[in-house]
Amino acid sequence: MNEATRPSNFIRQIIDADIEANKYGGRIATRFPPEPNGYLHIGHAKSICLNFGIAEDYKGSCNLRFDDTNPHKENIEYVKAIQRDVRWLGYDWQERLYFASDYFEQLYEFAVQLINKGKAYVCDLSADEIRDYRGTLTEPGKNSPYRDRTFEENLELFARMRAGEFPDGSKVLRAKIDMASPNINMRDPTLYRIRHGVIHHQTGQEWRIYPMYDFTHCLSDAIEGITHSICTLEFEDHRPLYDWFLDELETSCHPRQIEFSRLTLQYTVTSKRKLNALVDDGYVEGWDDPRMPTIAGMRRRGYTAASIRDFCHRIGVTKADNIVEMGVLENCVREDLNTHAPRRMAVLHPLKVVIENYPEGQAEELEAANHPQNESLGRRKLPFSREVYIDQHDFLEDPPKKFKRLVPGGEVRLRNAYVIRCNEVIKNGQGEIVKLRCSYDPATLGANPEGRKVKGVIHWVSAPHAIEVEVRLYDRLFNHPNPDAAKDGRDYKEHLNPDSLRMLTRSYVEPSLVSARVGDAFQFEREGYFCVDSTHLDGDKPVFNRTVTLRDTWAKIEKLHSTG
């Protein structure tokens, strides 16, 4: 990215000023610190683009660090998925892959230093008692009766905690700060808790005590020499604690914490806990379900990494509430796919058309451009024959005035092929249309001959040549713009959109798609952008996912809602 297109935001202004002042010797080091307790989602993408983007633009570095201090909620599947997703987004941490658990021994030493300084103590209050003693926003807390243990006693007890001598919940190590602080985070926060019987994905059963997030995070940043520790706004009130630990322990590097607002995307949720529940309770196929706002889900849906990066770039970075319309993301996807997705024809709801004046058993190869603007994408062959499929929606027996497609006795152009006329409508016993008898005009291949008025152009596939496929049409996962904060007292799951997935089990695509592979994107003319599904590869039919429609159909619906 060159100077002119570089994003400017308040974080970059802080960094520019720090460079100007020669803070950190002009060095810039950031990190992306996910907890491996779920898959990454679009909110994380914002943080990834921000942290890795800054490192790139300032010729600094960005570490990938797993914040793995909560072993009972974390696992190795998530560790792997997160790495895959960051890489797929287009970012590289090179050799700088770290785990907070790499520092458990060092963190233990830091805790011992605090005890030695009289700044930490072992407390025997239960979790409930600790909460009661903490006070409220308006009332100060009160001191724990264990606050004045001698440092010798604290050292011994802390060592015995580590050795596994005490049961879960019987003791914690706390910082000794100020129980009357107006900032509740400073009221003797817990540094270590006891956890028996958990197997940590990195350290196995080595540890019986685990450090808390606030203690771990700032020290991990300092150990790695991070200069700017960028996090979301909910940590603003934790910043004094972040600085307190680093000041008390006199670490050689004191990173600067900067907070920005979380991304909230309409019609979805971005909380790993809530996404996890959707997976566990079977509301979706898995973390990579194409309706999920996860990076894995968006990838399977056919969103490109470039479009997600573009989206993160466009929404910007601020301290203000950041609720973004889904249409903004979908537009980024459309714009990117429009430039490079080859065009194909696919009939989603097939209606058989028999062209009675076309010889039986004959077929010919027509040709079509793969892209209307980009000739470098080449051309492809399209077989044409006596029987074709068109979409049911492109024929109406009783059309409204402005209907430009096929009607009884009317004409329409088959895209890249001939003009056909509908001579007869064939119905089954239930009165449903099952077939059209048509005729074609052999003189109409290519440009529209003079004097012939054909208003509509529709897509089609040759019936004997087409490939039968399953098509999955996705819609928004929720039908409320703010499922998380709907203010109607209902749980977010009650706002799930029952029509978020429609499966069309008998659709037809043109034969050139026989070579389509996972990762390829196509525009199915007049229908939208589609890709090969990466999960259902071994069924009897290929599965195509609709990535996004051609136009923003939701914009209209939303307008209706807001005007009436």
Per-residue H/E/C for 377-441: HCEEEEEEECEEEEEHHHECCCCCCCCCCECCCCEEEECCCCEEEEEEEEECCCCCEEEEEEEEE
Which of the ranges 183-191, 199-207, 263-271, 492-500 carries the binding residues for ligand ATP, by CB under 6 A? 263-271
Shortest separation between residue 263's beta carbon and ligand ATP, angstroms: 4
The verdict on whether 559 is a catalytic residue reads: no
Q: What are the beta bridge partners of residue 194?
A: 209
Residues 534 and 515: beta-carbon distance below 8 Å: no
> Which of Mg ion, ligand ATP, none does 63 bind, CB closer than 5 to 8 A by kind?
none
For Mg ion, the closer of residues 40 and 355 by Cβ is 40
Choices 39-47, 116-124, 371-379, 478-486 (CB under 6 A): range interacting with ligand ATP? 39-47
- The least distance separating Mg ion from the CB of residue 74, rounded to whole angstroms, comes to 11
The residues in 18-37 that bind ligand ATP, with binding defined as CB under 6 A, are 33-35
CB of 248 to ligand ATP, least distance (A): 24
Answer for which of 262, 415, 526, 536 binds ligand ATP (CB under 6 A) is 262
DSSP state, 136?
Answer: -
426 CB-near residues (< 8 Å, 6+ apart): 433, 434, 435, 436, 437
37/482 with CB nearer Mg ion: 37
432 is an active site residue: no
What is the DSSP code string of 174-212? Answer: EE-S-TT-SSGGGSS-EEEEE--S--BTTTBTS-SEEE-
Q: Which residues contact 228 (CB under 8 A, 6 or more apart)?
A: 11, 14, 15, 18, 28, 29, 30, 54, 255, 256, 258
- Closest distance of CB 209 from ligand ATP, Å: 21
| Residue range at the interface with ligand ATP (CB under 6 A); choices 86-94, 100-108, 132-140, 268-276 | 268-276
- Any bridge partners for residue 413, and if so which? 419, 457
Residue 161: in which H helix or E strand, if any?
helix 151-162
Q: What is the total count of residues that contact ligand ATP (CB under 6 A)?
A: 15
Query: Does 86 participate in binding ligand ATP (rule CB under 6 A)?
Result: no
Cβ atoms 79, 47 nearer than 8 A: no
Q: Are the CB atoms for 413 and 454 separated by under 8 Å?
A: yes
Binding of residue 216 to ligand ATP (CB under 6 A): no
171 among known catalytic residues: no
Can you tell me which of 232, 479, 482, 535 binds ligand ATP, judged by CB under 6 A?
A: 232
Please check whether residue 117 is in contact with residue 244, taking contact to mean a CB–CB distance below 8 angstroms.
no
* Residue choice 270, 307, 534, 547 for contact with ligand ATP (CB under 6 A): 270
209 within 8 A of 194, measured Cβ to Cβ = yes
Which of 322, 534 has the CB closer to ligand ATP?
322
Active-site residue (options: 23, 96, 195, 262)? 262
**Minimum distance of ligand ATP from residue 318's CB (angstroms):** 11
**Which among 264, 370, 366, 374 is positioned nearest to 323, based on CA atoms?**
264
Build a one-symbol-per-residue string for 33-72: x at contacts with Mg ion by CB under 5 A, - elsewhere: --x-------------------------------------
Site for ligand ATP in 145-204 (CB under 6 A): none
Task: Give the one entry of Mg ion, ligand ATP, none that residue 33 binds, where binding means its C-beta sits below a cut-off of 5 to 8 angstroms depending on kind.
Answer: ligand ATP
Give the pair of three-digit tokens for residue 156.
């011994």
Token pair of 253 as six digits = 């590097």
CB closest to Mg ion, residue no: 35
Q: Which residues bind Mg ion (CB under 5 A)?
A: 35
Q: Which residues are the active-site residues?
A: 35, 262, 272
Q: Which residues bind ligand ATP (CB under 6 A)?
A: 33-35, 43-44, 46-47, 67, 231-232, 262-263, 270-272
